Chains A and B, each alone.
Chain A
């Protein structure tokens, strides 16, 4: 009788596990990862927003970055990307995509300001300012609109256009359209990088695996310890920045 109960119990367990595994595999197979077509800079028909692309169209390594300006980990990325551009001149093209996280209170304001600066051809400079001065605007108690406007002014923006753009709902819609594209690609954290269909989540992953993935595309031998090149890996979160 006891053996019978045990056998019944083991069989029920096996059946339960098999069912659960089957459910997961079935659901996962029905949810393929969306891969958008690669962006084309010149003569492209862009349906929303303006592309934020750095590097030549002919570059063999095309990186797409989904990032959030209020995210502390994302602050570590620009120096690393800068080192990549220097190490592989003309070989890398970077496309930035907005991905303001819901958990970051002022993120959407920063992304809207950056998109407005993009429309004045100053996105990359403004991006660097947002990251380097994250400590100033991210812990703000009120929406940091004035601080963001000051940064824009310091970079020589046309403030009339900037102001009108900051009030334009269509710009926010474009930002969320990019985020929506990220959601379709199952981006869940920032920064997330794509090299074709390969995905690297977070600065550490990018440092550990990204560099060698680029080298593979370029037909170069892998580097043994890519992570030791750039410090710090993840900066300490700012006081009050992690909302």
Chain B
């Protein structure tokens, strides 16, 4: 039987958070990558505060970041960096939604995070709640120095 020390026992709760955030981002990125890029482009354009010139670039880059760092977080490869990147993304979504609401006085009826064909449909305000939660957990994961369950920990072990 594997014996866990105190730190590892405490980490088990955070580990669930790590899996949850990783899954949310990996799924969101995967759905967007499977669909034509114009779908996400249109979703971003619905937030009228994003300069139109950068939308085609962002629509191509963001899904890859979500998918790759989501999988990194699940597998525990570069977990601190991945958590930091995803915390930054979660927080930027929160700011985007709040800023759009403030400037235009309106929000798109769908957040544009997952496609119509996906299992998850969220309104922008539900995304704010989810992303605030994600940011807190991801920042907590960034501050943890050792992530025992994961690829990075496995690679650091002496062979």
Contacts and interface: CB of A to CB of B under 8 A. Distances in A.
Interface string B34-47: 11101101110110
A188 B116 contact: yes
Contacts of B52: 204, 208, 227
B121 A188 contact: no
Q: Most chain-A CB neighbours within 10 Å: which of B42, B43, B67?
A: B42
The 9 closest A-B pairs by CB, nearest first: A201-B42, A242-B109, A188-B115, A202-B42, A204-B45, A236-B106, A188-B116, A199-B38, A188-B39
A192 interface: yes
B117 A188 contact: yes
Nearest to A16: B77
Contacts, number: 113
Contacts of B106: 72, 234-237
A186 interface: yes
B151 to A, nearest CB: 6
Contacts of A204: 42, 45-46, 48, 52
Contact of A17 (B68, B104, B112): B68
B20 interface: no
What class of interface size applies to chain B in its complex with A?
35 or more
B109 A72 contact: yes
Contact of B107 (A1, A200, A205, A237): A237
B92 to A, nearest CB: 20
A187 B48 contact: no
Nearest to B38: A199
A233 B48 contact: yes
A13 B48 contact: no
Given A189-B115, A241-B109, 20 more contacts: A5-B156, A9-B152, A9-B156, A12-B151, A16-B151, A28-B34, A103-B109, A187-B39, A187-B116, A188-B39, A188-B115, A189-B39, A189-B42, A200-B42, A201-B45, A205-B41, A205-B45, A234-B48, A237-B107, A242-B107
A129 B155 CA distance: 64
A24 interface: yes
A199 B156 CA distance: 48
Contacts of B34: 24, 27-28, 31
Nearest to B105: A236
A32 to B, nearest CB: 11
